[in-house]
Structure 1
């Protein structure tokens, strides 16, 4: 019997049941939830970095976006608010599209 001990998407228990198996789950408290969201975000970022194909990379990016959405909700905000902050930073400091790599400042 595999042991997972990780945060899962909301519909996974039903999917497991539909496959004739019985999941054992519990609801995380606030501290556990934010800790597990952060772990899951690191896990998905690693999976993105290791993905070889464009479809796999896009799938991992969608997982990261879902986690960012959950983190935003945890912080009491929305992706729209975060995007507003992002756009302001781009306006003030730029983005990363120019691929500028700082080696030194004298």
Structure 2
């Protein structure tokens, strides 16, 4: 019997049940949820970093994005507000599309 002890997507217990198995799960309280979302973000980022090709990379990035959606809500915000903050920062400081790699600032 595998033991997971981790946050999973909402439909995973239903999928397990549809396979004739009986999952043991529980609903996390708010603080547990916050902690587990942070762990899940680390897990998904690691899976992205380990992806073997573009298709796997995009799949893992979708998982990262899903976790970000949960995190932004747990912090009392919304995906729309997150996008506004991202756009504001991009307008002020730019994005990463130009591939600029800063080496040093000798006169700083």
So what's the TM-score if we normalise by structure 1? 0.94
Question: 1:1-31: per-residue Cα shift (whole Å, max 9, x none)?
Answer: 1000000111100110110111111111221
In structure 1, the residue matched to 2:26 is 26
In structure 2, the residue matched to 1:68 is 68
CA distance in 2, matches of 1:79, 1:48: 21
Matches within 5 A, 1:72-87: 72-87=72-87
Question: 1:32-89: per-residue Cα shift (whole Å, max 9, x none)?
Answer: 1111101101110111111112111111111111111111111122111111111111
CA RMSD, Structure 1 to Structure 2 (Å): 1.0
CA distance in 1, matches of 2:31, 2:80: 25
In structure 1, the residue matched to 2:13 is 13
Unaligned runs of 5+ in 2: none
So what's the TM-score if we normalise by structure 2? 0.92
Q: Which runs of 4+ in 1 moved over 6 A?
A: none
CA distance in 2, matches of 1:73, 1:53: 31
Q: Find the residue that maps to 1:8 and give its secondary structure.
A: coil
Unaligned runs of 5+ in 1: none
